[in-house]
A = this chain, B = another copy of it.
């Protein structure tokens, strides 16, 4: 048997070590805002690698923003800096923070979004803009971009501001799981019209062991979880666990959102038979 595991050529450490800053904003793509954030980062360190996660988060939608960032931040190398400019002015009294969490760095406003990313305790937390504070109506550029660029340049997070003991922790909508049922909700309708729920594979597998079950979604019932799209026929709705380990309702080449009339926060109910 042939060995398909082949070592890739080694690129010099100089390039390999180029730091990454990701951007997640609700700024859209028709204005100068995103370019101004990037230009500010480059003015601090022109060698930073900037990767867009999305600039099409719905304006001020903390739920949308946190879902997308939580789904992907761990895929980036440890040490990556994530600049979060969703609802970037925040509410009254919300400060600007830098956070080290699961070996990643985050800079943003303390509006609750960052508190939805992980259940793990943070490693470091500092208040930005606390020394000689700047008042800004464009804090993504004036406060967050310089902090992100410095972190990506090797400045220690503890050198960016005064330490804080806590930041705003919101809780995602809970799943109610008993021996008889799991009640969850749609947490995201994606670009394809697939409906992503907050029901996790682990909980489902634990509770469904050896039991028949019915998944109720809108008016539809499912009695089987597919392992891939090809087990369904074109235009058929089906359910599967997605790459995040979350139950998802899709249509093979279709739009489940339109067909089932479900949207963000719609209930999804799994009933186990005795």
Contact = CB atoms under 8 A, between A and B. Distances in A.
A121 interface: no
A47 B18 contact: yes
Given A15-B14, A31-B54, A192 B59 contact: yes
A191 B8 contact: no
A198 interface: no
Contacts of A227: 135
B229 A40 contact: no
A22 B228 CA distance: 26
B230 A91 contact: yes
A27 B72 CA distance: 14
A263 to B, nearest CB: 14
Nearest to A94: B230
Interface string A1-41: 11010101101101110101010001111111111101110
Contacts of A56: 28-30
Interface stretch (A136-144, A165-173, A177-185, A208-216): A136-144
A218 interface: no
A159 interface: yes
Contact of A30 (B15, B22, B43, B54): B54
B32 A53 contact: yes
A187 to B, nearest CB: 12
A122 interface: no
Contact of A155 (B6, B16, B92, B159): B6
A266 interface: no
A52 interface: yes
A91 B91 CA distance: 48
A273 interface: no
A260 to B, nearest CB: 17
A44 B8 contact: yes
16 contacts: A1-B131, A8-B45, A8-B155, A20-B42, A26-B192, A28-B192, A29-B29, A29-B56, A30-B54, A30-B64, A31-B188, A32-B53, A36-B71, A93-B230, A137-B248, A141-B243
